[in-house]
Structure 1
Amino acid sequence: MSGDDDEPSYGSGDEVNHLTDGHNKRTIPTAATTTPSSAASGPTRKRSRKACGDAIVEAMLEIAAASKKRAAALANNGDRFSISKCIRALDDLQGVDQPTYFLALDLFENPSSREIFISLKYEKRLKWLQGKCRAL
């Protein structure tokens, strides 16, 4: 308290009560150390932190959901352009000679080549493969 005992002192933070809760020691300010403005903003600050924490949790859940969706799309795309699917499509082509066939198998190791091969119309696949053979 200050020299004048009629007016309450809000103190400098030196006047605190210490409570022991199990192994943890918490310092709880007494009424004399709490300023009116901090006492009024306490619950609002807690609500603000909770709202912020809730927003972070919600954003993390959205990121996780988007990541799962992306992984599923990539897995689905991988199946669409798989090596085995390319080989089946290659086996269905008419007029593929043996050197072109084996070059195609080497090309199918490249994901971009697999995607191009599968994406081409049936009648253009053989011409594309033959062009790749000439280029090598």
Structure 2
Amino acid sequence: MSGDDEEPSYGSGDELNNIDGQHNKRIPAATTPSSAAASGPARKRSRKACGDAIVEAMLEIAAASKMRAAALSNNVDRFSISKCIRALDDLQGVDQPTYFLALDLFENASSREIFISLKYDKRLKWLQGKCRAL
């Protein structure tokens, strides 16, 4: 290879040629005070700690979401229409108009919750009161 075909050699990189041919000292970026403080093991640890905290928070959110979904599912099962009908069938003294009104009431989640939450001896009186109100 001839001298013209070779890549120019700049030496150690501590000096740069200026346009006018003067040599200036170059300060490597890694040794400047601001870049030295912003890089290095402390910054990497900070990023890792931040990342770990984010992952931990996301796991806590996921766990809370699962717990909430399970609680809602239990609530739905507890006040289901079929459970209300079984409880209605267990009541003594329910006439046919009251029975069918109760079935209509059970379409409403709040009515189902009230009916199931009432003590056994109060359920029929509550249903009869609803019949009179309509």
Q: Taking structure 2 as the reference length, what is the TM-score of the superposition?
A: 0.76
C-alpha deviation, 1:41, in angstroms:
3.3
2:120 is aligned to: 122
Q: Which letter does structure 2 place at the counterpart of 1:37?
A: S
1:36 is aligned to: 33
Q: For 1:105, what is the secondary structure of its paired residue? A: helix
For residues 33-87 of structure 1, give each alpha carbon's deviation from its aligned partner in whole angstroms, at most 9, with x where no partner exists: 2313322431222211111111011000000001001111111111111111100
Q: State the distance in 1 between where 2:29 and 2:37 align.
A: 14
C-alpha deviation, 1:92, in angstroms:
0.6
Between structure 1 and structure 2, the one with the greater Rg is 2
The equivalent position to 2:78 in structure 1, one of 70, 80, 103, is 80
2:88 is aligned to: 90
Question: How well do the aligned residues superpose, as a CA RMSD in angstroms?
Answer: 1.8
Q: State the distance in 2 between where 1:63 and 1:9 align.
A: 51
**Aligned residues of 2:29 and 2:35 also touching (Cα < 8 A):** no
Q: State the distance in 2 between where 1:40 and 1:128 align.
A: 73
Q: Higher strand share goes to which structure?
A: 1
Q: Percent identity?
A: 82
Q: For 1:96, what is the secondary structure of its paired residue? A: coil
Q: Which letter does structure 1 place at the counterpart of 2:88?
A: L
Does 33-42 or 66-75 show the bigger shift?
Answer: 33-42
C-alpha deviation, 1:101, in angstroms:
0.5
Q: State the distance in 2 between where 1:73 and 1:127 align.
A: 30
Q: For 1:94, what is the secondary structure of its paired residue? A: coil
1:106 is aligned to: 104
Q: Taking structure 1 as the reference length, what is the TM-score of the superposition?
A: 0.75
Q: Specify every segment of 5 or more residues in structure 2 that has no aligned partner in the other structure, as ranges.
A: 1-15
C-alpha deviation, 1:9, in angstroms:
3.6
How many residue pairs align between the two structures? Answer: 113
1:51 is aligned to: 49
